[in-house]
Amino acid sequence: MSTENQFIPQENNGEVIYKGHTFYILYPNSGKTIEDLLAYSAILIHAVHSTYADFTIQRLRSYKDQRMYLKPIFFLQPSADSGKYINRLIDGSVFNLNQLESILPRIEDILTRTNQLKNYTASTYEASLITKFLTQSYTRGRKYIEPIPYIFSGINYAYPGISCNFDHTEENKVFAILDLAEKEGLIQGEFYDKTHYCNKCNHGALNYRSVCPKCASSNSETQDIIHHFPCGNVGPMSDFQNEVNDHLNCPKCNKQLRHIGVDYDKPSILHTCMKCDHKFQDFEVKAKCLNCEFDNELEELIEKEIKRYSITNKGENATIFGYLPSNKEMEEIPGTVRYSLFSSMVKSEIERIRIIHSHSNLAMIYLHNSGELVSRIGGDRRRIIIKEVVSTVAQFLRPYDIIAYKNPSLMMVTMYDISQENGLLLLEEIVELLRKLLSNNVKDFEVKIEYKIQAISTKIPYKDQVESLIQGFD
């Protein structure tokens, strides 16, 4: 190794400049606000004290501004106490500044991926949380959202990118966010484990213990039951014991017991409750909540399936271009019909062309960056533009053709009584006009449209035809 290349990074009031990147070292006594930290390429959390480090990384990752929650963040001088979940929230760690070189590729990779994301603001609170975990995964090259056992989690498992956004008492809402994202087709869940929560407060910290079936006390003593073969006597071990030596004598026939299996046996056990003196053979199992102290019967516990999720193609698309929750608004646009109605009208069209031997088509127009579009234009103007889009499309179609929105990105139209070739020419004209319309109305908006046309077949079930039309775009 040549000595001239051994440039040792120097810290200056928490700041380090190294190979074109600016780092900030966050100490417990730092006076900087999170806003102050946005300007740095990467953050190093001084992590000798794991309590401080764990708290700080969760705070930065849950911050509302994407420039912070996606930022490359590392631990400097990590302690061994931060567990698996916390280690998933950081991008790596270094023991001293001489090791900065080793994390540069990681930083550059994250920054490159972050730059691929289109600028947009999520339209709802739920959408902003979904965007957060999707973008955190994407910029780290992760295809999965995995539950990690975490003892400080109120629900026993933590999901990186989601859990830190909720207080301990609200952590259960993580499931609502994941369920929504799964329902929207952005992620796909598979079974991972089952866990249980308190029936009273939903908390997952439960102490399972064996208790007296009469008074629910866990204070009990257990002894063997002895069966003496020669006389047939059956009784608890204490009846056979004496205070002088450790010999066992039968209280019924007074003989000394010799060899287990030969002249006596221990067929079962007996529990004695130290609180109510109740004697019993089978415990009851109860789960005491360590949060609210409610003593749950096992069958009262809330059982929850914990899933591991993979990000779908639709999810990845939404990550880059923006996620728009599907909503009722789309179904009420004048001039359009609901998706379900569209689908059943295709069914009757199949019957019609079978009889009159005509040619009809299905077409779809997909706007990749509708999320970006919506965040650029506000509510009222958005409706006006959508209306304009619909009337633009309608003027190319016959009055009895139909238009439907499957979601804000995906428009479907019928093209009745026209060949597929001519339909395609028409579709190209429509798309060209839509491009002009959108780029004229929204400044600096790069319109990303895909489209497709498909002849209606009289031989394939209507549902399959509609599905194959939108496959990969829904």
Name the residue type at position 272: T
Provide the edge-to-edge strand list for the sheet that holds 220-228: 234-236, 220-228, 264-273, 279-280
Nearer to Zn ion, 234 or 353 (CB): 234
Distance CA(123)–CA(382), nearest Å, equals: 13
Distance CA(116)–CA(138), nearest Å, equals: 10
Nearer to Zn ion, 293 or 428 (CB): 293
Distance CA(277)–CA(255), nearest Å, equals: 29
CB of 292 to Zn ion, least distance (A): 3
Nearer to Zn ion, 112 or 217 (CB): 217
Query: Strand (E) positions, 314-448?
Result: 361-367, 403-407, 410-415
Given candidates 145, 158, 198, 453, which one binds Zn ion under the rule CB under 5 A?
A: 198
Given candidates 201, 270, 437, 455, which one binds Zn ion under the rule CB under 5 A?
A: 201
CB of 294 to Zn ion, least distance (A): 5
Nearer to Zn ion, 130 or 273 (CB): 273
Query: What are the structure tokens assigned to 311, written together?
Result: 């990000």
Nearer to Zn ion, 34 or 234 (CB): 234
* Length, in residues, of the chain: 474
Nearer to Zn ion, 23 or 240 (CB): 240
CB of 55 to Zn ion, least distance (A): 24
Interactions with Zn ion, residue window 211-270 (CB under 5 A): 212, 214-215, 217, 228, 231, 233, 250, 252-253
Based on the shown chain and the rule CB under 5 A, indicate whether residue 292 belongs to the binding site for Zn ion.
Answer: yes
Based on the shown chain and the rule CB under 5 A, indicate whether residue 276 belongs to the binding site for Zn ion.
Answer: yes
Nearer to Zn ion, 294 or 396 (CB): 294
Distance CA(376)–CA(141), nearest Å, equals: 28
Interactions with Zn ion, residue window 294-313 (CB under 5 A): 294
Provide the edge-to-edge strand list for the sheet that holds 73-76: 11-12, 15-18, 21-26, 42-46, 73-76, 93-94
Q: Which range touches Zn ion (CB under 5 A), out of 16-24, 257-265, 283-291, 432-440? A: 283-291
Based on the shown chain and the rule CB under 5 A, indicate whether residue 387 belongs to the binding site for Zn ion.
Answer: no
Nearer to Zn ion, 201 or 442 (CB): 201
CB of 300 to Zn ion, least distance (A): 11
Nearer to Zn ion, 250 or 415 (CB): 250
Interactions with Zn ion, residue window 353-382 (CB under 5 A): none
Instruction: State the maximum Cα–Cα separation within the chain, in Å, rounded to a whole number.
Output: 108
**Cα→Cα distances 324→128, 131, 135, 255, 410, Å:** 10, 10, 14, 84, 12
Q: Which range touches Zn ion (CB under 5 A), out of 59-67, 161-169, 171-179, 204-212? A: 204-212
Given candidates 113, 118, 209, 278, which one binds Zn ion under the rule CB under 5 A?
A: 278
Q: What is the per-residue burial (b if ≥16 Cβ within 10 Å, else e) of 371-386?
A: bbbbbbbeeeebeebb
Residue 98 phi, psi (nearest 5): -65, -15
CB of 196 to Zn ion, least distance (A): 11
CB of 108 to Zn ion, least distance (A): 47
Name the residue type at position 254: N
Q: Could you count the other beta carbons within 10 Å of the beta carbon of residue 132?
A: 23
Given candidates 291, 344, 392, 454, which one binds Zn ion under the rule CB under 5 A?
A: 291
Compute and round to an integer the Cα radius of gyration of the chain: 34
Q: Which range touches Zn ion (CB under 5 A), out of 202-210, 240-248, 317-325, 352-360? A: 202-210
Nearer to Zn ion, 164 or 289 (CB): 289
Based on the shown chain and the rule CB under 5 A, indicate whether residue 289 belongs to the binding site for Zn ion.
Answer: yes
Distance CA(451)–CA(424), nearest Å, equals: 9
Total site size for Zn ion, rule CB under 5 A: 22
Nearer to Zn ion, 201 or 431 (CB): 201
Interface map 156-195 toward Zn ion (x if CB under 5 A): ----------------------------------------
CB of 113 to Zn ion, least distance (A): 41
Angle between helices 100-116 and 125-139 (to 10 degrees): 130
Contacts of 71 (CB under 8 A, 6+ apart): 37, 38, 40, 42, 43, 60
Angle between helices 313-321 and 125-139 (to 10 degrees): 100
Contacts with Zn ion, residue ranges (CB under 5 A):
198, 200-201, 203, 212, 214-215, 217, 228, 231, 233, 250, 252-253, 273, 275-276, 278, 289, 291-292, 294
